[in-house]
Protein backbone atom coordinates (compact mmCIF):
# COMPACT_ATOMS: atom_id res chain seq x y z
CA UNK A 1 0.00 0.00 0.00
CA UNK A 2 1.42 3.37 -0.98
CA UNK A 3 1.29 5.96 1.81
CA UNK A 4 0.04 9.05 -0.08
CA UNK A 5 -0.77 11.52 2.66
CA UNK A 6 -0.51 11.89 6.44
CA UNK A 7 -2.31 14.53 8.47
CA UNK A 8 -1.76 15.40 12.12
CA UNK A 9 -4.24 17.24 14.31
CA UNK A 10 -3.41 18.48 17.78
CA UNK A 11 -6.74 18.26 19.58
CA UNK A 12 -8.03 19.61 22.86
CA UNK A 13 -11.22 18.12 24.31
CA UNK A 14 -12.88 19.15 27.56
CA UNK A 15 -13.37 16.34 30.11
CA UNK A 16 -16.84 15.81 31.60
CA UNK A 17 -15.26 15.95 35.08
CA UNK A 18 -11.72 16.99 36.03
CA UNK A 19 -9.47 13.94 36.52
CA UNK A 20 -7.48 14.14 39.77
CA UNK A 21 -4.47 11.87 40.27
CA UNK A 22 -1.26 11.93 42.31
CA UNK A 23 0.25 13.65 39.22
CA UNK A 24 -2.17 16.61 39.26
CA UNK A 25 -5.57 17.60 37.87
CA UNK A 26 -6.56 17.38 34.20
CA UNK A 27 -9.46 19.52 32.97
CA UNK A 28 -9.04 18.78 29.30
CA UNK A 29 -7.15 16.23 27.26
CA UNK A 30 -4.78 17.17 24.46
CA UNK A 31 -3.73 14.44 22.05
CA UNK A 32 -2.71 14.11 18.38
CA UNK A 33 -4.99 12.46 15.83
CA UNK A 34 -3.12 10.83 12.96
CA UNK A 35 -4.79 10.34 9.58
CA UNK A 36 -3.14 8.18 6.93
CA UNK A 37 -4.43 8.12 3.34
CA UNK A 38 -3.21 5.24 1.25
CA UNK A 39 -4.59 4.23 -2.15
CA UNK A 40 -8.10 5.49 -1.37
CA UNK A 41 -8.23 4.06 2.16
CA UNK A 42 -8.18 6.28 5.27
CA UNK A 43 -6.75 5.08 8.58
CA UNK A 44 -7.01 6.82 11.95
CA UNK A 45 -4.84 6.65 15.04
CA UNK A 46 -4.50 8.58 18.27
CA UNK A 47 -1.21 9.58 19.87
CA UNK A 48 -1.82 9.73 23.63
CA UNK A 49 1.05 12.04 24.60
CA UNK A 50 -0.44 14.64 26.94
CA UNK A 51 0.04 18.36 27.47
CA UNK A 52 2.34 17.77 30.47
CA UNK A 53 5.32 15.42 30.99
CA UNK A 54 3.89 14.09 34.27
CA UNK A 55 2.72 10.59 33.32
CA UNK A 56 5.33 10.17 30.57
CA UNK A 57 8.27 12.27 29.37
CA UNK A 58 6.47 12.59 26.03
CA UNK A 59 4.23 15.62 25.47
CA UNK A 60 2.14 16.79 22.53
CA UNK A 61 5.02 19.00 21.26
CA UNK A 62 7.64 16.22 21.53
CA UNK A 63 5.37 13.77 19.71
CA UNK A 64 4.52 16.42 17.08
CA UNK A 65 8.26 16.89 16.47
CA UNK A 66 9.11 13.18 16.31
CA UNK A 67 6.15 12.40 14.05
CA UNK A 68 6.79 15.30 11.65
CA UNK A 69 10.57 15.11 11.50
CA UNK A 70 11.33 11.39 11.78
CA UNK A 71 8.42 8.94 11.69
CA UNK A 72 6.32 10.39 8.87
CA UNK A 73 9.31 10.97 6.53
CA UNK A 74 10.25 7.30 7.07
CA UNK A 75 6.96 6.02 5.62
CA UNK A 76 5.55 8.79 3.39
CA UNK A 77 5.47 7.89 -0.29
CA UNK A 78 6.70 4.37 0.43
CA UNK A 79 4.99 1.26 -0.80
CA UNK A 80 4.55 -0.73 2.37
CA UNK A 81 3.27 -4.30 2.40
CA UNK A 82 2.54 -4.63 6.13
CA UNK A 83 2.67 -2.63 9.37
CA UNK A 84 5.83 -4.40 10.55
CA UNK A 85 7.62 -3.04 7.47
CA UNK A 86 6.64 0.49 8.51
CA UNK A 87 7.83 -0.14 12.07
CA UNK A 88 11.19 -1.35 10.73
CA UNK A 89 11.54 1.86 8.69
CA UNK A 90 11.58 4.02 11.83
CA UNK A 91 13.06 1.47 14.26
CA UNK A 92 16.23 3.50 14.72
CA UNK A 93 14.23 6.19 16.53
CA UNK A 94 14.75 5.39 20.22
CA UNK A 95 11.93 5.80 22.73
CA UNK A 96 9.02 8.13 21.85
CA UNK A 97 6.62 5.21 22.14
CA UNK A 98 3.49 7.36 22.08
CA UNK A 99 4.51 9.12 18.87
CA UNK A 100 5.24 5.74 17.27
CA UNK A 101 2.00 4.19 18.53
CA UNK A 102 -0.11 7.02 17.07
CA UNK A 103 1.26 6.49 13.57
CA UNK A 104 1.24 2.70 13.90
CA UNK A 105 -2.44 2.75 14.92
CA UNK A 106 -3.40 4.75 11.81
CA UNK A 107 -1.43 2.32 9.63
CA UNK A 108 -3.09 -0.69 11.27
CA UNK A 109 -6.53 0.85 10.66
CA UNK A 110 -5.66 1.51 7.01
CA UNK A 111 -4.34 -2.04 6.46
CA UNK A 112 -7.36 -3.64 8.16
CA UNK A 113 -9.71 -1.50 6.04
CA UNK A 114 -7.84 -2.36 2.84
CA UNK A 115 -8.33 -6.05 3.69
CA UNK A 116 -11.98 -5.42 4.64
CA UNK A 117 -11.54 -6.92 8.11
CA UNK A 118 -11.96 -5.53 11.61
CA UNK A 119 -8.91 -4.40 13.54
CA UNK A 120 -9.86 -6.91 16.24
CA UNK A 121 -9.61 -9.72 13.69
CA UNK A 122 -6.37 -8.38 12.26
CA UNK A 123 -4.76 -8.26 15.72
CA UNK A 124 -5.90 -11.77 16.62
CA UNK A 125 -8.86 -10.88 18.82
CA UNK A 126 -11.08 -13.71 20.04
CA UNK A 127 -13.53 -11.98 22.39
CA UNK A 128 -16.63 -10.20 21.05
CA UNK A 129 -17.22 -8.33 24.30
CA UNK A 130 -14.74 -6.68 26.66
CA UNK A 131 -15.08 -6.64 30.46
CA UNK A 132 -14.72 -3.05 31.50
CA UNK A 133 -14.30 -1.03 34.66
CA UNK A 134 -14.21 2.62 35.48
CA UNK A 135 -11.21 4.67 36.61
CA UNK A 136 -12.05 7.36 39.16
CA UNK A 137 -9.86 10.29 40.11
CA UNK A 138 -9.11 11.17 43.73
CA UNK A 139 -12.17 12.59 45.51
CA UNK A 140 -12.04 15.50 47.99
CA UNK A 141 -13.95 13.61 50.67
CA UNK A 142 -15.26 10.12 51.39
CA UNK A 143 -18.93 11.19 50.96
CA UNK A 144 -18.00 12.66 47.54
CA UNK A 145 -16.47 9.34 46.47
CA UNK A 146 -19.48 7.32 47.70
CA UNK A 147 -21.78 9.64 45.79
CA UNK A 148 -19.84 9.19 42.52
CA UNK A 149 -19.61 5.44 43.16
CA UNK A 150 -23.35 5.03 43.47
CA UNK A 151 -23.80 6.44 39.97
CA UNK A 152 -21.24 4.09 38.42
CA UNK A 153 -22.49 1.02 40.28
CA UNK A 154 -26.00 1.72 38.95
CA UNK A 155 -24.60 1.92 35.42
CA UNK A 156 -23.34 -1.66 35.82
CA UNK A 157 -19.55 -1.45 35.82
CA UNK A 158 -17.79 -4.71 36.73
CA UNK A 159 -15.04 -3.12 38.76
CA UNK A 160 -13.87 0.18 40.12
CA UNK A 161 -10.37 1.60 40.12
CA UNK A 162 -9.61 4.58 42.31
CA UNK A 163 -6.57 6.76 42.16
CA UNK A 164 -4.65 7.08 45.41
CA UNK A 165 -1.82 9.16 46.88
CA UNK A 166 -0.17 9.21 50.32
CA UNK A 167 -2.77 10.20 52.96
CA UNK A 168 -5.50 10.00 50.36
CA UNK A 169 -5.73 6.23 50.32
CA UNK A 170 -6.89 4.07 53.25
CA UNK A 171 -9.88 6.22 54.20
CA UNK A 172 -11.31 5.84 50.67
CA UNK A 173 -10.49 2.13 50.39
CA UNK A 174 -12.01 1.40 53.80
CA UNK A 175 -15.22 3.30 52.98
CA UNK A 176 -15.68 1.56 49.62
CA UNK A 177 -15.06 -1.87 51.13
CA UNK A 178 -17.58 -1.26 53.90
CA UNK A 179 -20.22 -0.13 51.40
CA UNK A 180 -19.40 -2.68 48.67
CA UNK A 181 -17.83 -5.77 50.33
CA UNK A 182 -17.74 -7.91 47.16
CA UNK A 183 -16.97 -5.38 44.43
CA UNK A 184 -13.81 -5.78 42.34
CA UNK A 185 -11.75 -2.88 43.60
CA UNK A 186 -8.26 -1.84 42.53
CA UNK A 187 -6.10 1.21 43.18
CA UNK A 188 -3.63 3.20 41.05
CA UNK A 189 -0.89 5.24 42.75
CA UNK A 190 0.88 6.56 39.62
CA UNK A 191 4.24 6.23 41.41
CA UNK A 192 3.36 8.36 44.44
CA UNK A 193 4.89 6.08 47.11
CA UNK A 194 8.28 4.72 48.20
CA UNK A 195 9.35 1.60 50.09
CA UNK A 196 9.10 3.70 53.27
CA UNK A 197 5.32 3.40 52.91
CA UNK A 198 5.43 -0.36 53.51
CA UNK A 199 3.11 -0.09 56.57
CA UNK A 200 0.43 1.55 54.38
CA UNK A 201 0.65 -1.29 51.85
CA UNK A 202 0.45 -3.87 54.66
CA UNK A 203 -2.83 -2.21 55.71
CA UNK A 204 -4.11 -2.22 52.12
CA UNK A 205 -3.55 -5.99 52.18
CA UNK A 206 -6.60 -6.28 54.46
CA UNK A 207 -9.11 -5.07 51.84
CA UNK A 208 -8.75 -7.84 49.23
CA UNK A 209 -7.95 -5.39 46.44
CA UNK A 210 -7.73 -6.91 42.94
CA UNK A 211 -4.40 -5.18 42.46
CA UNK A 212 -2.25 -2.18 43.33
CA UNK A 213 -1.09 -0.36 40.19
CA UNK A 214 2.37 1.28 39.96
CA UNK A 215 2.89 2.23 43.62
CA UNK A 216 6.64 3.02 43.34
CA UNK A 217 8.99 4.84 40.92
CA UNK A 218 7.76 5.43 37.37
CA UNK A 219 10.82 3.70 35.92
CA UNK A 220 11.37 1.18 38.71
CA UNK A 221 11.30 -2.59 38.47
CA UNK A 222 13.70 -3.46 41.31
CA UNK A 223 11.93 -1.90 44.34
CA UNK A 224 8.56 -3.22 43.15
CA UNK A 225 10.01 -6.73 43.52
CA UNK A 226 10.95 -5.93 47.12
CA UNK A 227 7.46 -4.62 47.83
CA UNK A 228 5.75 -7.57 46.12
CA UNK A 229 7.69 -9.96 48.40
CA UNK A 230 6.31 -8.15 51.47
CA UNK A 231 2.59 -8.03 50.61
CA UNK A 232 -0.14 -10.47 49.53
CA UNK A 233 -2.00 -8.18 47.12
CA UNK A 234 -0.93 -8.48 43.47
CA UNK A 235 1.09 -5.59 42.15
CA UNK A 236 0.52 -4.43 38.56
CA UNK A 237 2.95 -2.30 36.57
CA UNK A 238 1.89 0.50 34.23
CA UNK A 239 4.47 3.33 33.89
CA UNK A 240 7.55 1.05 34.15
CA UNK A 241 6.64 -1.13 31.16
CA UNK A 242 7.66 0.17 27.72
CA UNK A 243 8.49 -3.05 25.92
CA UNK A 244 8.51 -6.83 25.96
CA UNK A 245 11.99 -6.57 27.52
CA UNK A 246 10.67 -4.54 30.47
CA UNK A 247 7.84 -7.04 30.86
CA UNK A 248 10.25 -9.98 30.94
CA UNK A 249 12.40 -8.22 33.53
CA UNK A 250 9.37 -7.44 35.71
CA UNK A 251 7.94 -10.96 35.55
CA UNK A 252 11.24 -12.76 35.99
CA UNK A 253 12.15 -10.51 38.94
CA UNK A 254 8.63 -11.04 40.37
CA UNK A 255 8.06 -7.28 40.54
CA UNK A 256 4.36 -7.75 39.77
CA UNK A 257 1.86 -10.50 38.96
CA UNK A 258 -0.29 -8.53 36.51
CA UNK A 259 0.55 -6.24 33.58
CA UNK A 260 -1.38 -3.19 32.39
CA UNK A 261 -1.02 -2.89 28.61
CA UNK A 262 -1.39 0.52 26.95
CA UNK A 263 -0.36 0.51 23.30
CA UNK A 264 0.70 4.17 23.55
CA UNK A 265 3.19 3.40 26.32
CA UNK A 266 4.82 0.48 24.48
CA UNK A 267 4.99 1.86 20.92
CA UNK A 268 1.85 0.32 19.48
CA UNK A 269 -0.21 -2.81 18.90
CA UNK A 270 2.67 -4.93 17.58
CA UNK A 271 4.65 -4.59 20.83
CA UNK A 272 1.41 -4.91 22.86
CA UNK A 273 0.72 -8.28 21.23
CA UNK A 274 4.24 -9.48 22.03
CA UNK A 275 3.70 -8.52 25.69
CA UNK A 276 0.25 -10.11 25.67
CA UNK A 277 1.58 -13.38 24.26
CA UNK A 278 4.54 -13.54 26.62
CA UNK A 279 2.28 -12.89 29.63
CA UNK A 280 -0.12 -15.61 28.45
CA UNK A 281 2.79 -18.07 28.29
CA UNK A 282 3.77 -17.12 31.86
CA UNK A 283 0.19 -17.30 33.23
CA UNK A 284 0.25 -13.56 33.90
CA UNK A 285 -3.15 -11.93 33.26
CA UNK A 286 -3.22 -8.58 31.45
CA UNK A 287 -5.75 -5.78 31.16
CA UNK A 288 -5.98 -2.74 28.94
CA UNK A 289 -5.25 0.63 30.54
CA UNK A 290 -6.56 3.94 29.26
CA UNK A 291 -5.27 7.44 28.54
CA UNK A 292 -8.63 9.26 28.43
CA UNK A 293 -8.71 8.62 24.68
CA UNK A 294 -11.21 10.11 22.26
CA UNK A 295 -13.45 7.70 20.37
CA UNK A 296 -10.65 7.09 17.84
CA UNK A 297 -8.08 5.70 20.28
CA UNK A 298 -10.83 4.05 22.31
CA UNK A 299 -12.00 1.96 19.34
CA UNK A 300 -8.44 0.76 18.71
CA UNK A 301 -8.04 -0.09 22.39
CA UNK A 302 -11.25 -2.13 22.36
CA UNK A 303 -9.92 -4.08 19.36
CA UNK A 304 -6.64 -4.85 21.15
CA UNK A 305 -8.45 -5.78 24.37
CA UNK A 306 -10.33 -8.49 22.45
CA UNK A 307 -7.21 -10.69 22.50
CA UNK A 308 -7.67 -13.78 24.71
CA UNK A 309 -5.35 -12.98 27.65
CA UNK A 310 -7.10 -9.65 28.41
CA UNK A 311 -9.02 -11.38 31.18
CA UNK A 312 -9.23 -8.61 33.80
CA UNK A 313 -11.66 -5.68 33.41
CA UNK A 314 -10.13 -2.86 31.36
CA UNK A 315 -10.04 0.96 31.75
CA UNK A 316 -12.29 1.28 28.70
CA UNK A 317 -15.47 3.10 29.61
CA UNK A 318 -18.11 4.36 27.14
CA UNK A 319 -17.24 7.69 25.43
CA UNK A 320 -19.71 9.71 27.49
CA UNK A 321 -17.79 8.98 30.71
CA UNK A 322 -15.04 11.21 29.32
CA UNK A 323 -16.49 13.69 26.81
CA UNK A 324 -19.90 15.27 26.31
CA UNK A 325 -19.18 15.43 22.60
CA UNK A 326 -16.79 12.98 20.97
CA UNK A 327 -15.12 13.17 17.55
CA UNK A 328 -16.62 9.89 16.30
CA UNK A 329 -20.11 9.04 15.05
CA UNK A 330 -20.31 5.64 16.73
CA UNK A 331 -20.30 5.64 20.52
CA UNK A 332 -19.66 2.72 22.84
CA UNK A 333 -22.38 1.82 25.33
CA UNK A 334 -22.16 -0.27 28.47
CA UNK A 335 -24.05 -3.56 28.06
CA UNK A 336 -26.18 -4.68 31.04
CA UNK A 337 -23.52 -7.27 31.90
CA UNK A 338 -20.83 -4.58 32.28
CA UNK A 339 -19.17 -5.21 28.92
CA UNK A 340 -18.51 -3.24 25.75
CA UNK A 341 -19.14 -4.86 22.36
CA UNK A 342 -16.17 -5.10 20.00
CA UNK A 343 -16.91 -3.43 16.63
CA UNK A 344 -17.04 -5.81 13.66
CA UNK A 345 -16.86 -3.27 10.81
CA UNK A 346 -13.63 -2.73 8.83
CA UNK A 347 -10.66 -1.34 10.76
CA UNK A 348 -11.44 0.40 14.05
CA UNK A 349 -15.12 0.09 13.13
CA UNK A 350 -16.15 3.63 14.05
CA UNK A 351 -16.64 6.64 11.76
CA UNK A 352 -14.82 9.87 12.52
CA UNK A 353 -17.05 12.94 12.83
CA UNK A 354 -14.99 15.37 10.74
CA UNK A 355 -17.01 18.40 11.84
CA UNK A 356 -16.50 17.65 15.53
CA UNK A 357 -12.84 16.84 14.88
CA UNK A 358 -12.36 20.24 13.22
CA UNK A 359 -14.04 21.92 16.20
CA UNK A 360 -11.57 20.41 18.68
CA UNK A 361 -8.48 20.88 16.47
CA UNK A 362 -5.94 23.34 17.86
CA UNK A 363 -3.49 23.04 14.93
CA UNK A 364 -2.97 20.71 12.01
CA UNK A 365 -0.42 19.90 9.36
CA UNK A 366 -0.23 17.63 6.34
CA UNK A 367 2.45 15.72 4.44
CA UNK A 368 1.66 14.82 0.85
CA UNK A 369 3.44 12.95 -1.89
CA UNK A 370 3.76 15.01 -5.09
CA UNK A 371 1.75 13.34 -7.83
O1 LIG B 1 -2.31 5.66 35.16
O2 LIG B 1 -3.80 4.60 34.12
C3 LIG B 1 -3.25 5.67 34.37
C4 LIG B 1 -5.05 8.52 32.56
C5 LIG B 1 -4.00 9.32 32.19
C6 LIG B 1 -2.72 8.94 32.56
C7 LIG B 1 -2.52 7.77 33.29
C8 LIG B 1 -3.58 6.96 33.67
C9 LIG B 1 -4.87 7.36 33.31
C10 LIG B 1 -6.08 6.62 33.70
C11 LIG B 1 -7.28 6.81 32.83
O12 LIG B 1 -6.15 5.94 34.71
C13 LIG B 1 -8.06 5.57 32.61
C14 LIG B 1 -9.08 5.75 31.53
O15 LIG B 1 -8.75 6.15 30.38
O16 LIG B 1 -10.25 5.46 31.81
MG1 LIG C 1 -2.01 3.62 35.75
pLDDT higher than 90, residue 158: no
Q: Kindly state if the Cβ of 58 falls inside 6 Å of ligand 1.
A: no
Instruction: Determine how many CB atoms are found less than 10 A away from the CB of residue 322.
Output: 21
Q: Which residues contact 127 (CB under 8 A, 6 or more apart)?
A: 305, 306, 307, 308, 310, 342
What percent of the chain lies above the pLDDT cut of 90?
Answer: 99
Q: Are 65 and 9 in contact (CB under 8 A)?
A: no
Indicate the pairing of strand 134-136 with strand 159-163.
parallel
pLDDT at 370: 80
Please tell me the pTM assigned to this model: 0.97
pLDDT at 139: 96
- Ligand 2 centroid, distance to 188 Cα (angstroms): 6
Q: Which of 100, 113, 163, 321 is catalytic?
A: 163
Across the chain, which distance is largest between two alpha carbons, in Å? Answer: 66
Pocket test residue of 289, 293, 294, 313 for ligand 1, highest count of atoms within 8 A of CB: 289
Element (H or E) spanning 128, and its range?
A: none
- Average pLDDT of the segment spanning 275-300: 98
Q: Kindly state if the Cβ of 29 falls inside 6 Å of ligand 1.
A: no
Beta bridge partners of 30: 12
Q: 114-142, pLDDT tens digit by residue?
A: 999 999 999 999 999 999 999 999 999 99
Q: Kindly state if the Cβ of 292 falls inside 6 Å of ligand 1.
A: yes
Radius of gyration of the chain (CA): 20
d(CA 115, CA 119): 10
Q: 310-325, pLDDT tens digit by residue?
A: 999 999 999 999 999 9
Closest ligand 1 atom to residue 289 Cα is 2
- Cα 243 to chain centroid distance, Å, stands at 14
Residue 321 falls in the annotated catalytic set: no
Q: Kindly state if the Cβ of 50 falls inside 6 Å of ligand 1.
A: no
Residue 262 falls in the annotated catalytic set: yes
Q: Which residues contact 92 (CB under 8 A, 6 or more apart)?
A: none
List the domain boundaries for the chain.
Answer: 5-116+351-368, 121-341
Q: Are 155 and 336 in contact (CB under 8 A)?
A: no
What is the dihedral sign for C-alpha 229, 234, 235, 236?
Answer: positive
Superfamily of domain 121-341: Enolase-like C-terminal domain (3.20.20.120)
CATH class of the domain defined by 5-116+351-368: alpha beta
Amino acid sequence: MRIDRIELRHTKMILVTPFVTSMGTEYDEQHIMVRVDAEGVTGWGECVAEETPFYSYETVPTAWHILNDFLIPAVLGKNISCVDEAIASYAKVRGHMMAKAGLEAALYDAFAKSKGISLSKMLGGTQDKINVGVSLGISDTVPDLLHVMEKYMKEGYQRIKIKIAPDRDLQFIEALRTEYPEMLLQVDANSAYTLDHLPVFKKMDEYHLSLIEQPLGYDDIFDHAKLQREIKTDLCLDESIHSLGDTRAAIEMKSCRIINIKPGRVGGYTESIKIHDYCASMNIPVWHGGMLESGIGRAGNVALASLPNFTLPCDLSPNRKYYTEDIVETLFELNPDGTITVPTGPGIGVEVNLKALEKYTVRKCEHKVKK
